[in-house]
Structure 1
Amino acid sequence: MADSSADARPHALFVAGPFQGHFVPAANLAIKLAAKGFIITFVTTEAFHHMRSDSGASSHDQRDIFSAARSKGLDIRYDVVSDGVPVPPDWRSNLEPVFYAHAHLLQAHVEELLRKLLLAAEPPVTLLIADTLFVWPSTLAKKYGLPYVSFWTQPALVFTLYYHMHLLIANGHFGAIPENRKDTITYVPGVQAIAPADLMSHFHKMNTSAVIHQLVVKSFEEVKGADFVLVNTVQELEDETILALQREKPFYAVGPIFPDGFTMEMVKANLWPEHDCSQWLDSMPPSSVLYVSFGSIYPISERDFSEIVRGVLDSKVNFLWVLRPGSVGTGSEDDPLPEGFREASRGRGMVVPWCSQKEVLLHPAVGGFLTHCGWNSILESMWCGVPLLCFPLIVDQPMNRTLVCQNLRIGLKLGDIGKVRRDHVSNAIRGLMGGEVGESVRREMEEVKKATRSALTPSGSSFKNLDQFIVDLLKHLAEKKGGQ
């Protein structure tokens, strides 16, 4: 920036989504913006902060997660606010109270902090950056005369389907869609033909009073008032969709939002301690291990877990399985693996409660990833060039699978909730890890890997898009100041 004095630098109040998949890219984006000269006050909820600090995931100062970033000269401040969720939270049994709190209680606590920062911070806050799925940022920003930057942590494809929800409703693609419906969705700007069954999971339910539905509807009313939208994706991988969105809003693809060096994170954001798998992986042949993980929040059903477990056994493929606490069924922390599983897989399988996913995916022994299709997991696979087996569980994940399997062709479908079968699982695993179909997927993944890594180079699209966003934002701030 031309003027680096504190009073000339933008000071952003950055409110991160309090879930692992939202918090991690938000923290990394905050560091990138601070490295560009921003002052950042980074905020999350007390409940999420408690989950992190109580997890034992790291031994450094849990109260101040950006201490390492500040030691390198970056001006990032860290704060927490209440969202009305009890501390310690119990998210495994029911997420509805969490969504309700974010929809109805969080705004008042963020506003209280914002007023304090406007009055007492040096320099005062000049803009608001917030997770798109909050229901209040545009309203709050306008109340205090601040620009609002909406940060979307999922692919542009999912964003545009939410943004054009009115088209889906008008065409009967919202609610209890019959399973045998054969038509496709072809009317959303910038979106290839997609099947109604692949829409976000809550679009298939008629209960419009559900908190998750109300939260999404209201948040996308708010995003239409955003001055800028940053999205954690790569321009070249979703170019048609992004170009259509740019006709609606100032929309910038700045992903994948990883720390410099990929695994060299300044912020430890894990919710559980990481198990070191490197020695075991070192003992395995190249591209021989299937990595299995279903994410950090939502449990897989006991029925589907049983079919997938038996399919993995039948495949005879080496595997590394992350089985976090509460990941199966009703959230019980009892061992969900069937009797005899560990003995039957001895020598070719390893089960751990958590690990460094990036380090695992980078390991040459890993040849495939059986995933719930969380967007962070997909981006990490793209960076590492590891093809995917897709078993989505909830919300955006079915649509993420469509992007992976249909649009980019870097993965294979494993089956659907309640329908997946062990024989299909074992065949799909063998096909991905050693068959002709797997070879085709690997070739496509190599091209995607090149595009993903290229995007973050100084001549790459995401690098340039972030710089362009900063130029446009500074111009906007200057015009706003000049008009006062």
Structure 2
Amino acid sequence: MDQTTKPPPHVLIFPLPLQGPVNSMFKLAELLCLAGIDVTVVVTEHIHGRLLRYTNIQDRFNHYPGFQLKTIPDGLPADHPRSGDKFMELFDSLKAKTKPIFKDILTSDCLTAAGSRRPVDFIIADGSLGFTCDVANEIGIPIVYVRTISPCCLWVFFCLPKLIEAGELPFKPAEDDWDVLIKNVPGTENFLRRRDLPSFCRLGDLDDEQVQFYKSEGEENSRARGLILNTFEELDGHVLSQMRTICPNLYPIGPLHELLKAKLSTQKATPLPASSSSLWQEDRTCMTWLDSKPLKSVVYVSFGSIATLTTDQLMEFWHGLVNSGIPFLWVIRPDSIAGKDWESNIAADLREATKQRGYIVGWAPQEEVLAHPAIGGFLTHNGWNSTVESIYAGVPMICWPYFLDQLVNSRFVSEVWKLGLDMKDTCDRSTIEKTVRDLMVVRKQEFTERATEMAEFARNCLKEGGSSYCNLERLVKDIHSMMSQD
């Protein structure tokens, strides 16, 4: 390198060690690599093992000389599930055991590759990992947070202290009226109900660890120099304007998965290997099955990487899907059903009906599935990645949220964006059958037209001069300027 040439910034990215955040932040890492920035992604050893087992992530990033992947322990035993009702234990362990190791990584020379890159100039970390900001402030490195959950749910988190002060929380789970409107989340007063609040709000206990953790979100996220969000102004502008009263510097750069494709399409370089950061083995036979189906005839069913169904819930969904008469592609993760003997409970006639109109896989290449012309609807848990991917693909949704932000997202899908039907708090075969038919037959034209309109907004924001395109350029510029100041 010429001695007069300033070396590129060195950004460290630390995702929350779950499928959704890991998926989003590898895409962000690649976007920064394309902008000429050196990037180190730090993942937990558990996540690293799954990436090596199921993806080609290292081959993909070998094409970027400025990229490196490093690991850090999460402090949990190898057999810990790291999900479900054990979810909060992951945060506790990261804070207690990973924080000092994270500081050691930043203050040692282990990331400089024997002097071939600068020490870390800038940190981008998941905003739920508050210890990263503590460390950044201690050693004087600027930090920007990423939140891979939805802005609409993050805004609810920001308002939790106000909800508690106003007496809207706690409310008792035994109360019958779950449809009482919530009045202290500005901008949502006319449609957000008790049943749409994040799942921990149903506990009726302000001392619960989740309530305590999330009620400090506004204070925590405002400590960083900015907040990166996987959304776009045309989708979430009304919520973003509220959020800016607490976190003024927002970078809405979504849909991330498509912004990356758009940037790659402008590069003149040799095509890169197909990208995947899946933590499960993808079964691509489903794509061949979809090829045999008519346009917009199939409902895709997936409840994401964390949700667990009971055997009873599984059977209600199975009967409802079969009885709807609509072809379906269903992802049933190997660990997604409570109990190990559920397969033996599937009646012969149900299996036969599934062979006729359904296809079941353990995991699917979801972005490709949603983009397939045979897909006409998405029965989803409404994780934020899945929701944004569906919006971009122009696929209407049936919402069956599992926990946390998904309950808020599903309400926005049905009542704000008018992109589908919210089926939360129900799980019976007749409701499932009717809702699938409503989306795929009765109201198909209505939802398809609205989804197509919103998909066009999403495409436009990624073009040169579009909102997400410009926000990414501003982020890159700010990384350079913050580096030169500190």
Correspondence 1:432 to 2:439: yes
Contact 1:154/1:233, CA 8 A, preserved across alignment: no
1:449 to 448, 455, 476: 455
1:329-348 to structure 2, matched below 5 A, reads: 329-330=338-339, 332=340, 335=343, 338-340=346-348, 341-348=350-357
Deviations along 1:137-156, whole A, 9 cap, x unmatched? 22111101111100011221
Q: In the aligned structure 2, how far is the partner of 1:167 from the partner of 1:336?
A: 49
Q: Which residue of 2 aligns with 1:33?
A: 32
Compare 108-117 and 208-217 and name the one that shifted more.
208-217
Q: Which residue of 2 aligns with 1:101?
A: 93
Contact 2:179/2:195, CA 8 A, preserved across alignment: no
Q: Which residue of 1 aligns with 2:294?
A: 285
Deviations along 1:23-71, whole A, 9 cap, x unmatched? 00000001101211221110011122223334xx24x4xxxx3442332
Contact 1:135/1:218, CA 8 A, preserved across alignment: no
Deviation (angstroms), 1:432: 0.7
Deviation (angstroms), 1:74: 4.9
Give the secondary structure class of the aligned counterpart of 1:99: helix
Correspondence 1:361 to 2:370: yes
Deviation (angstroms), 1:187: 3.3
Q: Which residue of 1 aligns with 2:71?
A: 80
Deviation (angstroms), 1:338: 2.4
| Residue identity in the other structure for 1:199 | L
Q: In the aligned structure 1, how far is the partner of 2:40 from the partner of 2:156?
A: 31
Deviation (angstroms), 1:414: 2.3
Correspondence 1:294 to 2:303: yes
Give the secondary structure class of the aligned counterpart of 1:292: strand
Give the secondary structure class of the aligned counterpart of 1:151: strand
Give unpaired runs (5+ residues) of structure 1.
Answer: none
Q: In the aligned structure 2, how far is the partner of 1:110 from the partner of 1:415?
A: 39
Deviation (angstroms), 1:120: 5.0
Q: In the aligned structure 2, how far is the partner of 1:353 from the partner of 1:5?
A: 53
Q: Which residue of 2 aligns with 1:459?
A: 465
Correspondence 1:390 to 2:388: no
Q: In the aligned structure 2, how far is the partner of 1:218 from the partner of 1:168?
A: 13
Q: In the aligned structure 2, how far is the partner of 1:85 from the partner of 1:270?
A: 21
Contact 2:157/2:217, CA 8 A, preserved across alignment: no
1:164 to 147, 153, 159: 159
Contact 2:298/2:327, CA 8 A, preserved across alignment: yes
Deviations along 1:155-194, whole A, 9 cap, x unmatched? 2111111122211111223333434155422433444531
Q: Which residue of 2 aligns with 1:227?
A: 225
Give the secondary structure class of the aligned counterpart of 2:11: strand
Contact 2:401/2:410, CA 8 A, preserved across alignment: yes
Deviations along 1:394-440, whole A, 9 cap, x unmatched? 11100010111111010112241xx32211111111111111x2321
1:4-403 to structure 2, matched below 5 A, reads: 7-54=6-53, 57-58=54-55, 60=56, 65-71=57-63, 73-91=64-82, 94-117=86-109, 122-177=117-172, 178-180=175-177, 182-191=179-188, 193=190, 194-218=192-216, 220-249=218-247, 250-258=249-257, 260-261=260-261, 267-276=275-284, 277-330=286-339, 332=340, 335=343, 338-340=346-348, 341-403=350-412
Deviation (angstroms), 1:134: 1.0
Contact 1:322/1:354, CA 8 A, preserved across alignment: yes
Compare 198-207 and 365-374 and name the one that shifted more.
198-207
Give unpaired runs (5+ residues) of structure 2.
Answer: 265-271
Structure 1 114/33 Cα, relative in aligned 2: closer, same or farther at 3 Å? same
Contact 1:50/1:87, CA 8 A, preserved across alignment: no
Q: In the aligned structure 2, how far is the partner of 1:119 from the partner of 1:427?
A: 55
Instruction: Detail structure 1 runs of 4+ shifted over 6 Å in the superposition.
Output: 3-6, 262-265
Q: CA RMSD in A?
A: 2.5
Give the secondary structure class of the aligned counterpart of 1:129: strand
Structure 1 266/82 Cα, relative in aligned 2: closer, same or farther at 3 Å? farther
Deviations along 1:117-138, whole A, 9 cap, x unmatched? 4995630111111011113122
Compare 245-254 and 234-243 and name the one that shifted more.
245-254
Structure 1 5/441 Cα, relative in aligned 2: closer, same or farther at 3 Å? farther
Deviation (angstroms), 1:337: 6.3
Q: In the aligned structure 2, how far is the partner of 1:308 from the partner of 1:30?
A: 37
Query: How much identity, in percent, do the aligned residues show?
Result: 29
Q: In the aligned structure 2, how far is the partner of 1:113 from the partner of 1:82?
A: 12
| Residue identity in the other structure for 1:241 | V
Compare 372-381 and 84-93 and name the one that shifted more.
84-93
| Residue identity in the other structure for 2:388 | L
Deviation (angstroms), 1:293: 0.7
Structure 1 357/376 Cα, relative in aligned 2: closer, same or farther at 3 Å? same
Deviation (angstroms), 1:336: 7.2
Q: In the aligned structure 2, how far is the partner of 1:13 from the partner of 1:239?
A: 29
| Residue identity in the other structure for 2:236 | E
Compare 11-20 and 99-108 and name the one that shifted more.
99-108
Structure 1 452/142 Cα, relative in aligned 2: closer, same or farther at 3 Å? same
Q: In the aligned structure 2, how far is the partner of 1:391 from the partner of 1:405?
A: 12
Q: In the aligned structure 1, how far is the partner of 2:111 from the partner of 2:81?
A: 35
Q: Which residue of 1 aligns with 2:268?
A: none
Q: Which residue of 2 aligns with 1:406?
A: 415
Compare 236-245 and 20-29 and name the one that shifted more.
236-245
Q: In the aligned structure 2, how far is the partner of 1:119 from the partner of 1:231?
A: 26
Deviation (angstroms), 1:229: 0.5
Structure 1 421/222 Cα, relative in aligned 2: closer, same or farther at 3 Å? same
| Residue identity in the other structure for 2:261 | G
Q: In the aligned structure 1, how far is the partner of 2:80 from the partner of 2:464?
A: 42
Structure 1 337/270 Cα, relative in aligned 2: closer, same or farther at 3 Å? farther
Contact 2:60/2:273, CA 8 A, preserved across alignment: no
